[in-house]
Structure 1
Amino acid sequence: MKKTFLLIFLLMSVMGKSIEISAPPTPSSLPFFIEEDDYNVEIFKSHDKANAKFVSGKSQVLVTGFNAAFAFRKQNIPIKVISVSFGDLSYFISDGFDLFASGKNFTVSLPFKNSPLDTQFKTILSVDNELNKRCKIVYNPFQASRQLLKRKKIDLTVLPEPLASKAVIVDNLKRVSSINQLWHKFFQTENGVPKTAVIVRTDILSEKEISEIKQKLKKHAEELKKNPKMTIKLLQKNLKLTEKEAATVAENISINYLFDEELVKNASEYLKSIKRENDFDKDLFK
């Protein structure tokens, strides 16, 4: 009974009001930075708070890491993934260390254990024995990794944009390779690794509303492909970047927003690559 009253309350709270969307401060949120009258976008700083807001129903759309969809499903939260972004967004950054220099051991800092970047890099190591033997992984938040790299306490870190470009411009560090570029050396998945998923609450939003969000996302993604200047302006405004930083980010991102059958195909291929094919559920992505 309590669940019924909660659902009625949540449904009433969104009727006649704009749909609440929570999105991270990364380029993968770009299509949602294009303003629309019927939804409100909050750029969040805390993933935990954004997740809690989504679980409570106070936001009905969440742009977050691909893995989060499976965690929500295990909590029996009614969701659907309407799109996932694939492509170049995160980069290996160094102070001059050559990742591919044979025979040199190295320490790489990743954000946290079992994070998407951790899973992706360990999957690469599992098929490259030589690289695996030379590698030591440590875990630190992105900003801490950047400082450790500047102090030469580590050899490499992986930073998402716009942090990667800031590290290059402000700290004079070096961009080595994107995680996606390295992935393609070993795996034949067409679009590489997933970045963020657009997850919707199917118990609060109607099918019509979900369809409209998807269509607007498709439309805005296409607009951004055709208009690099718009991308730079949106990055400047929403991520508080200088023009130089925004232009550098724009040059180094290549994000494809996949939908429907193309999404199903690429999600399935990726999960198979990381040996999590049992997590695949076609209905989750349609």
Structure 2
Amino acid sequence: MRLITLIFTALLLCCIGSCGDDSDAPATVTILVPEAIGSLPFLLFAEQTSPGGVRLNIVFFTGHPQALILLLQGQADFLFTGTTLGWQSMWDGSPLVAVESYVWGISSLLVQHEGPASIRDLSGMRLSLPFRDSPLDLETRFLLDRAGVKNTAVTLEYRPFAQGIPLFLEGNIDAIALPEPLATDLVHTHHVRRLFNYRNALRMAAGTDGRSPEVTLFSTRDKATKYSRLIPLLHDGLARIIDSMAADPEGTAAAAGRHFNYPPAILEEAIRETSFGSCSFQEHMSRMREYHRLIGPYFHTPPGPLPDTFFFIPEEKETGTDG
């Protein structure tokens, strides 16, 4: 795993100044993130923050369920992972809390070049999705339903991306849902095309802005309470990074090249296909509940609620930006 060290000067000043006693300030905070373009704000924040203060380790993981176990075992402090994975963990009784999402659309459905022209044309085809009740599973079934395609008319198959991609490229399955930069890389390097970007498809099907929190930053209740002074600093810093990314797409793609082994053109397109944004903690709670209302009926078993206690909202004054 790749390790990146982030130093929070602002937190140090807060702890020794107006925030009072720093005896309970964490010496090191670890955030687990997937090796995907959605993690880019964390990586750029790590590069651009000056040394001094609290040490923050950002660590790439490959398996979402395994990373969740590390968080719950106390081996990490925060986890940036699939939103519905966090929901299900909370419904199973874990002390998980949601902080913010920062990414509001990161995936596309790819098809063979001579494949279907619309969602309706997926009838009778085989689709590869990452796992049952994942955000991409629920969003796909929502979109099929809105397009009038019955679940029985489409074969949904669940497998990791690493297993699904070879089958798709060999023509053994008709479509595959992939996050960035995997989706853009396949479009550029193989004879396949993007049928739709999930955010755009959700916007048209649901009549909303299409912002879907496929991934969310989670912590445990105890850890989030312990780091309650850190969370607003992290939140505001990520918001500034997201603003800077929107202002300089080419520079952002060049910076991404230091973390992802793809050509600049692919990274730039992958970033354009990803919807980054930061909002207030209260707005995040409202948006996640709307997302739950939208995709909840498509869980394989009835989902639970999202109680107020699931959302960690610090007392500090909130700011947010949309990217």
TM-score range, shorter chain: 0.7 to 0.9
TM normalised by structure 1 equals 0.85
Tell me the secondary structure at the aligned position of residue 131 of structure 2.
Answer: coil
Q: Which residue of the partner structure matches residue 305 of structure 2?
A: 279
Shift in Å at residue 270 of structure 1? Answer: 1.1
**Alignment partner, residue 125 of structure 1:** 144
Q: Separation in 1 of the partners of 2:150 and 2:244?
A: 40
Asked whether the equivalents of residues 20 and 60 of structure 1 are also in contact (C-alpha less than 8 Å), the reply is: yes
Structure 2 counterpart of 1:42, from 59, 84, 105:
59
Q: Post-superposition shift, 1:167? A: 0.7
Residue of structure 1 in register with 2:82 after alignment: 65
Q: Match of 2:110?
A: 93
Residue 64 of structure 1, CA deviation:
0.6
CA contact (8 A) 1:112 1:139 kept: yes
Contact 2:95 / 2:221 at 8 angstroms: preserved in 1? yes
Equivalent residue of 1:237, what SS? coil
Q: Deviations over 1:146-205 (max 9, x none)?
A: 222222112111111111011112223211111222222221333432221011233133
2:230 paired residue among 209, 212, 237: 209
1:18 lines up with 2:28 in the alignment: yes
**What is the number of residues matched between the two proteins?**
273
| Corresponding position of 2:72 | 55
For residues 85-129 of structure 1, the C-alpha deviation after alignment (integer angstroms, 9 at most, x for no partner) is 453311111112124276663221112222211111112223332
Which whole-Å deviations, capped at 9, do the CAs of 1:31-59 have from their partners, x for residues lacking one? 11021443111111222332122112121
Residue of structure 2 in register with 1:105 after alignment: 124
Closer/same/farther in 2, CA of residues 18 and 220 from structure 1, 3 Å limit: farther
Instruction: Give me the CA root mean square deviation.
Output: 2.4
Separation of aligned partners in 1, 2:156 and 2:179: 17
Aligned-partner SS, 2:132: coil
User: Which gives a bigger RCO, structure 1 or 2 (Cα 8 Å, sep 6+)?
Assistant: 1
Give the deviation of 1:77 after TM superposition: 4.0
User: Please, which of 28, 33, 38 is the counterpart of residue 38 of structure 2?
Assistant: 28
Q: Which moved more, 1:200-209 or 1:27-36?
A: 200-209
Give unpaired runs (5+ residues) of structure 1: 1-13
Matches within 5 A, 1:1-286: 15=25, 17-34=27-44, 35=46, 36=49, 37=51, 38-74=55-91, 76-96=93-113, 97-100=115-118, 105-130=124-149, 132=151, 134-204=153-223, 205-275=226-296, 278-285=304-311, 286=313
Mean Cα displacement is larger for which, 75-84 or 36-45? 75-84
Q: Secondary structure at the match of 2:217?
A: strand
Task: Report the counterpart of residue 3 of structure 1 in structure 2.
Answer: none
- Equivalents in 2 of 1:66, 1:81: separation in Å? 9
Deviation per residue, 1:241-286 (Å, 9 max, x gap): 2223212212322222333222122111111112368522234233
The answer as to whether partners of 2:112 and 2:171 remain within 8 angstroms in 1 is yes
Change (3 A) 1:17 1:229: farther
Higher mean Cα deviation, 162-171 or 186-195? 186-195
Structure 2 portions without partners, runs of 5+: 1-23, 298-302, 314-323
User: Per the alignment, do residues 46 and 130 of structure 1 end up closer, same or farther by CA in structure 2, a change over 3 Å counting?
Assistant: closer
CA distance 1:72–1:121, change in 2 (3 Å):
same
* Residue in 2 that maps onto 1:7: none
The letter for the 2-side match of 1:24 is P
CA change 1:88–1:59 in 2 (3 A) is same
CA distance, structure 2, for counterparts of residue 17 and residue 172 of structure 1: 49
